[in-house]
Amino acid sequence: MAERKKGFVVAAVVVIALALVPLVVAREYVFSILCMIFLYVTLSQSWNILGGYTGQINVGQAAFFGIGALAARLLWVAGVPFYLSILAGGLSSVILAIIIGLPALKLRGHYFAIGTLAVASIAQITVGNILPGISFLPAQHMATYSLIPRYYVFLIIMVTALAAVYITVNSRIGLGMEATRDDEEAAQMVGVNTFKYKMIAFLISSFFAGLAGGGFAYFNASYYWYLPFTLMWCFEPILIVFIGGVGSFIGPIIGSVCYVLLKELFALTLGEANLLIFGIVFILTILFFPKGIIGLPAKLRQLFRRRGNVVGR
């Protein structure tokens, strides 16, 4: 396990370096890019523990992100301390997951995917109708607005989410999740209560999606109430996970860094067309690189070996 130890050291160094960034960098642009990377790492890793490790495809991540944002923002603006507001956002998301998961995860097949998409669509429309306007920050919050606390909030949420996912997937629970993903009946045949592991993955996933939503509500001074519910928040985590490498721990991290940087680049040069490009990249990834960026070295080695071995076989 020398490799694992090396991984911990690298992770610790990176986290410390990130924590020190505000002391050496003063440009707001850098902060907001890093905040977006942290947000997407959280959101995509939270999708990954359920979709990548447990095989339950949540097509409605926006509902969980959105409800976290909504609850946190309402409470915070009403005067509740921010850290309590964001926790309440995470818990609202967990409650939503329990309501959806109890019926939908009992069943096998596509019910879960269809159910989550339906919930996300309904949530977007409902919030759009009830709160059609913009949420403005009250003057006392506006007066003290600074990016640095936002930066630390996103960093803490991300590190917590990564640690929680890492510990879970490397435990007995992780074995139950992966077995459930690969073959539910075979998993039951070795004693795995598959419903339980789908539910655990869903609860962890929704909690961090909700926290990420709370981060969003804290970060943005003013935004349309429905904005965190838009279906973009459903598709982006899936896109990132598949580009980076589904069911791997590093995949969503690499995927998020690439996604945020490329999106920034494309948005500057291509405007709205950047969505089209990501759509195409997504399809090509699934067709030709199902393991994403993480799988590239193995894929190349495999291609290389196949060439080299023709005579020998």
Q: Which residues bind other proteins (CB under 8 A)?
A: 170-172, 175-176, 178-179, 181-183, 185-194, 247
Q: Please identify, using beta-carbon distances, which residue of 146 and 171 lies nearer to other proteins.
A: 171
CB of 176 to other proteins, least distance (A): 7
Q: How far is it, in rounded angstroms, from Cα 270 to Cα 237?
A: 21
Quote the radius of gyration of the chain (alpha carbons, Å): 20
CB of 114 to other proteins, least distance (A): 23
What is the largest distance, in Å, between two alpha-carbon atoms of the chain? 75
Q: Please identify, using beta-carbon distances, which residue of 44 and 194 lies nearer to other proteins.
A: 194
Q: How far is it, in rounded angstroms, from Cα 190 to Cα 100?
A: 27
Q: Please identify, using beta-carbon distances, which residue of 73 and 291 lies nearer to other proteins.
A: 291
Q: Please identify, using beta-carbon distances, which residue of 68 and 292 lies nearer to other proteins.
A: 292
Q: How far is it, in rounded angstroms, from Cα 154 to Cα 37?
A: 9
Q: Please identify, using beta-carbon distances, which residue of 132 and 290 lies nearer to other proteins.
A: 290
Q: How far is it, in rounded angstroms, from Cα 32 to Cα 124?
A: 25
CB of 241 to other proteins, least distance (A): 15
Q: Please identify, using beta-carbon distances, which residue of 28 and 183 lies nearer to other proteins.
A: 183
Rounded to the nearest 10°, the torsion over CA 138, 141, 143, 144 is 180
List Cα–Cα distances, 143 to 55, 146, 174, 242, in angstroms. Answer: 45, 9, 45, 41
CB of 101 to other proteins, least distance (A): 18
* Residues 38, 143, 32: CA angle, nearest 5 degrees: 20
Q: Please identify, using beta-carbon distances, which residue of 85 and 194 lies nearer to other proteins.
A: 194
CB of 158 to other proteins, least distance (A): 25
CB of 246 to other proteins, least distance (A): 10
CB of 90 to other proteins, least distance (A): 28
Q: Please identify, using beta-carbon distances, which residue of 119 and 179 lies nearer to other proteins.
A: 179
Q: How far is it, in rounded angstroms, from Cα 256 to Cα 243?
A: 9
CB of 169 to other proteins, least distance (A): 11
